Chain A
Amino acid sequence: MTSLWSSVIGGFAGTLVMTTMTRSASEIGLTRMDLPFLLGTAVTDNRRKAKAIGYCFHFAIGVAFALAYWAVFEAIGWSTWWLGACIGALQALFTGSVLVNVLLPIAHPRMGTPDTAANDVTLLEPPGFLMLNYGRNAFLVTLLAHIVYGAIVGWTVRI
């Protein structure tokens, strides 16, 4: 038995923990990955405002993904924290290999892509495959953060 509202709360809590983990990893020099900043700069080139807007986006996306998790749990008829963690790991893999590596640079008006040439000027370097452009540990941090996110959603969705 799962609850839609529980998944919303789980998504918010999971995003809170995930954001704290990735921010802490940046502060101790493990990665330059800053997803709220990347999301926010799609709207503004003011670095300060970008972070504030990006956090709002990030939480909205975190809740939206939690709803998707809830749909998966409903479809298969059960849920648990470790299943959520497994889906989180898959999500991290998708995020690192496709979402921010391919789709984000295409959609982001200020981010370069491997095809950006001299007739364009970008403000943000693309993350690259598994976000390796943002540090060797970037994907590891992202993977751990998403596993924790998934575990929280998987656990709270049953409450």
Chain B
Amino acid sequence: MRTDGYAAIEDYALIGDGRAAALVAADGAIDWLCLPNFDSPSVFGALLDPKHGGAFIVQPSIPFETSRRYLPDTNILETTFRTASGIVRLVDAMTLPDGQLAPMRELVRAVDGVSGLVPMRWRFAPRFEYGSRAPCFTTRAGVPVAIHRTEAIALQRWDAGTEVVHRDEGLEGAFEIAENGRAMFALATAYAEPLVLPSRAAAQDRLQRTARFWTSWAAGLKYDGEWTDAVRRSALVLKLLIFAPSGAAAAAPTTSLPEDLGGERNWDYRFCWIRDSNFMIDALIRLGCSDEARSLFWWFMQATALTEPRLHVLYRLDGGVGFAERTLQMPGYRGSRPVRVGNSAVAQTQLDIYGALFETAWLYSEGHHALDIDTGIVLARIADHVCDIWRRPDSGIWEVRNGPFQFTHSKVMCWVAIDRAMRLARRGELPSHHLARWQAEAAAIGAFVEERCWSESLGTYTRTAAGEESPRADASLLMLPLVGYGDSRGARISGTIDAVIDTLKHGDFVYRYRADDGLSGTEGSFLNCSFWLVSALARNGRVRQARELMNALIGRANEVGLYSEEIEPRTGAFLGNFPQALVHLALVNAAVAIRESA
């Protein structure tokens, strides 16, 4: 199941509580957990360093086979181990606070005997600061506690053996589980505050309350159509990726899972991208999650207040903008180095984010509330800024490092920004004194795109404007019909979709582009591009084709319905950070696009 200690990315499942998230491998190992928040340093980092990264393993001590699922409509994972001597179920969850005195963060693992008598083993080996700091182990009231500076992690155990062996900088133990027996572990953590050691009854109660919360939350989802299971699973994943203390949405809970095995395309995604916002707001509103949509919009208006009218590409989950990129001394996933924390894409100019912000505001206004006057004034300032800067080259949606270029997608998104500003101004939600200028600039952008970003010989909009590079297609152009640019059933959009299919599609999957981007190595196909193609086909009127592709893509999720950023078309192996919000957002929006177009 593992290669050199690394599990396949598709073998992981996610559990979390809206503040932190853990990746659980199919063999019962928790290989990734950052505490106390998504973007904190890891305490379990075996995902990137199996030897010294740290992990928490619970599994049979004899050969086994596994199958997994989430308990229906929850983010509680159930792993079933089948062995020669019996069957065991492992239930994993990060519990939610219940108003009682509870650990700051709590991860519960319940081991249930289904049949026979199964010997089990466990290993608790946290490593702080991305594996660079071994813990100091001590005991509190007989409970082993790993300590590093102001962090402490206690391992409570019930019916999970009595003897604890200290070996290789970790604690180990063994026990047997019989039919109808239950052993439990509760990982109680504290950061800059005293530890709370939970009782078995309290941990069990929180586990049940957590299950009830998830089922009641999922019951509020409004989607009812084809691919319901996949859409609901995506909604549950997206909910896990929303950082509850602020309302921001993380792009993924991991860093540096490679886009190219052994390559340098390894990035930290534990940030909130402005770009994802319009997809997120759109999906949340369509799914009936209006509270989360409003929270995200409020967060955006607060986060952007420091820099407006200029926008940063991404923001920290707490709303900050300081996150210098640095590399860690970790071997990386299957030797993919460097391992990065922080993200230097923040320094890039990416014009499309302005369109994303305005589309977000428009969707929010359409689906929820009218914008207040102060928000309208800020957005008007940003619209004026877009009028000033849209002619500049940028690094584009794909954050190329050999730019800047005159990217077509960026120009179109600047058009979206001004178009949505005009729509909001006409409704009285934005000041309208610059409306004439906005109209003129929107027309100028449209003329630029139609004249300089269209290839008559190829019959497609091109990746960049004429004169930048040889004309070619780009998957970002699939966004044009999705953001309402041009006639979604017209010849130019049809030609562009065909060009993407002809030049970038491989089987069911779509590559972003085939061009130099300033980085070495190759990459898999971006799964969001494949779902964008589904949406574009649906909006273009090719619903049957869209449905076929959607069915194929739904079948490529992992065992528990999750997707990573990319997939290797030839092998089906997952690549890139996991699970990725943008892919699940694209899935939801593709399902909706087909339903609306059918």
Residues of chain B contacted by A120 (CB below 8 angstroms): 244
Q: Does B352 contact A (CB under 8 A)?
A: no
Q: Does B391 contact A (CB under 8 A)?
A: no
Contact, CB under 8 Å: A117 / B318: no
Residues of chain B contacted by A113 (CB below 8 angstroms): 245
Residues of chain A contacted by B226 (CB below 8 angstroms): none
Q: How many A-B residue pairs have CB under 8 A?
A: 95
Residues of chain B contacted by A132 (CB below 8 angstroms): 320
Q: Does B45 contact A (CB under 8 A)?
A: no
Within 8 Å by CB of B245, from A46, A48, A116, A119, lies A116
Residues of chain A contacted by B224 (CB below 8 angstroms): none
Chain A window 100-134, contacts with chain B (Cβ cutoff 8 Å), 1 for yes, 0 for no: 00000000000011111111111111101000111
Q: Does A3 contact B (CB under 8 A)?
A: no
Q: Does B89 contact A (CB under 8 A)?
A: no
Q: Does A91 contact B (CB under 8 A)?
A: no
Residues of chain A contacted by B321 (CB below 8 angstroms): 135
Contact, CB under 8 Å: B291 / A32: no
A29 CA to B242 CA in the complex, in Å?
26
Interface majority SS (helix, strand, loop, mixed), chain A: loop
Q: Does B142 contact A (CB under 8 A)?
A: no
Contact, CB under 8 Å: B294 / A123: yes
Contact, CB under 8 Å: B242 / A118: yes
Residues of chain B contacted by A47 (CB below 8 angstroms): 372, 374-375
Q: Does A80 contact B (CB under 8 A)?
A: no
Contact, CB under 8 Å: B295 / A135: no
Given A26-B305, A133-B318, A135-B306, answer yes or no on A121-B372 (Cβ-Cβ < 8 Å): no
Chain A interface: which of B13-21, B147-155, B500-508, B583-591?
A: B13-21
Contact, CB under 8 Å: A125 / B247: yes
Contact, CB under 8 Å: A32 / B305: yes
Given A32-B302, A51-B374, A121-B292, answer yes or no on A115-B97 (Cβ-Cβ < 8 Å): yes
Contact, CB under 8 Å: B96 / A118: yes
Contact, CB under 8 Å: B245 / A32: no
A120 CA to B247 CA in the complex, in Å?
10
Q: Does B227 contact A (CB under 8 A)?
A: no
Residues of chain B contacted by A123 (CB below 8 angstroms): 247, 294-295, 298
Within 8 Å by CB of B306, from A29, A112, A114, A125, lies A29
Contact, CB under 8 Å: B302 / A125: yes
Q: What residue of chain B has the Cβ atom nearest to residue A129's Cβ?
A: B192
Q: Does A22 contact B (CB under 8 A)?
A: no
Contact, CB under 8 Å: B17 / A117: yes
Residues of chain B contacted by A134 (CB below 8 angstroms): 306, 319
Given A125-B246, A125-B319, answer yes or no on A118-B302 (Cβ-Cβ < 8 Å): no
Contact, CB under 8 Å: B305 / A125: no
Interface residues of B in 161-219 (CB under 8 A from A): 213, 217
Q: What residue of chain A has the Cβ atom nearest to residue B290's Cβ?
A: A121
Contact, CB under 8 Å: A32 / B306: yes
Contact, CB under 8 Å: A136 / B240: no
Contact, CB under 8 Å: A122 / B318: no
Given A112-B247, A121-B244, answer yes or no on A48-B319 (Cβ-Cβ < 8 Å): no
Q: Does B409 contact A (CB under 8 A)?
A: no
Within 8 Å by CB of A125, from B18, B96, B245, lies B245
Chain B window 529-548, contacts with chain A (Cβ cutoff 8 Å), 1 for yes, 0 for no: 00000000000000000000
Interface residues of B, Cβ cutoff 8 Å to A: 16-19, 36, 96-97, 104, 213, 217, 239-240, 242, 244-248, 291-292, 294-295, 298-299, 302-303, 305-307, 318-322, 372-375
